[in-house]
Amino acid sequence: MSTTVSPLAPKHVPELPAIAGVRLATAQAGIRYANRTDVLLALFDEGTTAAGVFTRSKCPSAPVEWCRAQLKSGKSAKNLPRALVVNSGNANAFTGKSGRAATRLTAEIAAKAAHCKPGQVFLASTGVIGVPLPDARIRAALPAARARLSAGGLDAASHAILTTDVGPKVAAAAFRAGGRRGRVVGFAKGAGMIHPDMATMLAFLMTDAEIPPPFLKAALRRAADETFNAISVDGDTSTNDTVLLLASGASGAPRIGGAADAGDFKSALLSVCRELAWRIVRDGEGATRVMEVLVRGAANERDARLAAHAVATSPLVKTALHGGDPNWGRILAAVGRSGARISPARAHLAAGPLCLVEGGLPVSYRERDAARIFARERVPITIDLGVGAARARVLTSDLGHDYVSLNADYRS
């Protein structure tokens, strides 16, 4: 008999602490639905620095193109970020010249609210692809949002960016620099079209530390590779994937960048990204459980990732996971077709502490013990390829009936 657990509930979401130098507000612009919060405005103190990672799609949205351009030109103080505008309900992708014009006009209005230049405004969108963005509604909502800005607006902001998500994804961590305490907070959205490089996700990370852009970029890239680029819900990626990291420098701590305190900041950043990545997979459209796939004993990191991603994206593995069925044959079959080198005679597979396969052969175990592990909310799987020392870890969700229902009528 199959067993399931309930989808992620909003009650599990912690409250985010405020970040000095950052003020936020939300608004209802009626972009796709009436009476729904769908616009976020954030303003940053002067001196804030930024870094970003984006979709690798060859068809990026207009906001992604805009943000990339601003980051490339952000070499002087006049280009440092002062504002962020995010909308849900419309992706502003495959919208051509009108989409690019909408980003420019939105940036110009936001710039007036922030008393900065349009090039100091970052933009992000999520929602339906191929529909013209009703930017006039967004621009009309920004002045009212400007009047409601507050340092404690992070929790409202985490709701404004959602689409098919069951609930918001938030995380926070503390670190020390120069004897003073700093914070990293983050909020994200994403439930479907989730796969490495990157996913249909938006994530906004903020810290009160003072960090130069080169260090910020390197730290974000590393954290994203270990978290947001190591999750999969359905094997699809989007046109709008955006992760932005903004550092206000308002903590009063010494500048971070190559100093001994940098390690503590990186650990805090990784912790926040890891928690957000977990919440995205756990909230996969219709998801009831998550499989944590650890591949070790690979010849190199590429092979480890090939094997892990093959398991994470296998419909047969994901449907078995949905039913709580410990069908390890599907897992090893996925590894076998992944292209990764494997020694069948030395292969090992375990579910949590329970060994299922050793030396390429099934071992004696009680089926009910394996089923008990596969019925958990989080199912840990370890696969040893038996040919080297490299490893990779990927999180993936199950695939059930609700995923089809949600995506069969997404535009209805």
Could you tell me if 48 and 172 lie in one domain? yes
Give me the mean pLDDT over the 194-220 stretch.
Answer: 83
Both 212 and 315 in one domain: the answer is no
Residues 274 and 374 in one domain: no
Residues 269, 298, single domain; the answer is no
Whether residue 296 sits in one domain with residue 265: no
pLDDT tens, position by position, 59-116: 899 999 999 999 986 554 556 899 999 999 999 999 999 999 999 999 999 999 999 9
Can you spell out the DSSP letters for 258-325?
SSTTHHHHHHHHHHHHHHHHHHHHHTSTT---EEEEEEEEESSHHHHHHHHHHHHH-HHHHHHHHTT-
Range of weakest confidence among 19-23, 157-161, 306-310, 311-315: 157-161
Distance CA 391, CA 264 (A): 24
Distances (CA, A) of 179 to 64, 69, 139, 254: 37, 36, 43, 9
Confidence of residue 197 (pLDDT cuts 50, 70, 90): low
Examine residue 3 and state whether it is found in any structural domain, yes or no.
no
* pLDDT (0 to 100) of residue 11: 44
- Is 155 part of any domain? yes
CATH code for the domain in which residue 297 is found: 3.10.20.340
Q: Is residue 22 part of a domain?
A: yes
In terms of domains, do 186 and 107 share one?
yes
Instruction: Tell which of 282, 309, 342 closes a domain.
Output: 282
Statement to judge: residues 273 and 393 lie in one domain: no
Last residue of a domain, one of 265, 282, 299: 282
How many independent structural domains does the chain possess? Answer: 2
Residues 55 and 87 occupy one common structural domain = yes
Out of 59-63, 165-169, 223-227, 309-313, pick the least confident: 165-169
Per cent of the chain over pLDDT 90 is 66
pLDDT in tens, 159-183: 888 877 778 889 999 999 888 899 9
**Residues with catalytic function:** 200
User: What range defines the domain where residue 90 resides?
Assistant: 10-282
Choose the final residue of a domain: 255, 282, 309.
282
Does residue 1 lie within any of the structural domains?
no
Q: Could you tell me if 233 and 51 are in contact, meaning their C-beta atoms sit under 8 angstroms apart? A: no
Please report the sign of the dihedral spanned by the C-alpha atoms of residue 378, residue 55, residue 83, residue 182: positive
Residue 390 maps to a domain: yes
Residue 101 lies in a domain: yes
Residue 113 included in any domain: yes
Do 259 and 298 lie in one domain? The reply is no
Question: Average pLDDT of the chain?
Answer: 88
48 and 93 assigned to the same domain: yes
Look at residue 6 and tell me whether its pLDDT is greater than 50.
Answer: no
Tell me, what CATH number does 251's domain have? 3.60.70.12
Both 273 and 304 in one domain: the answer is: no
Question: Is there a domain that residue 2 lies in?
Answer: no
> What pLDDT, on the 0 to 100 scale, is given for residue 134?
95
Do 63 and 156 belong together in one domain? yes
**pTM for the full predicted model:** 0.85
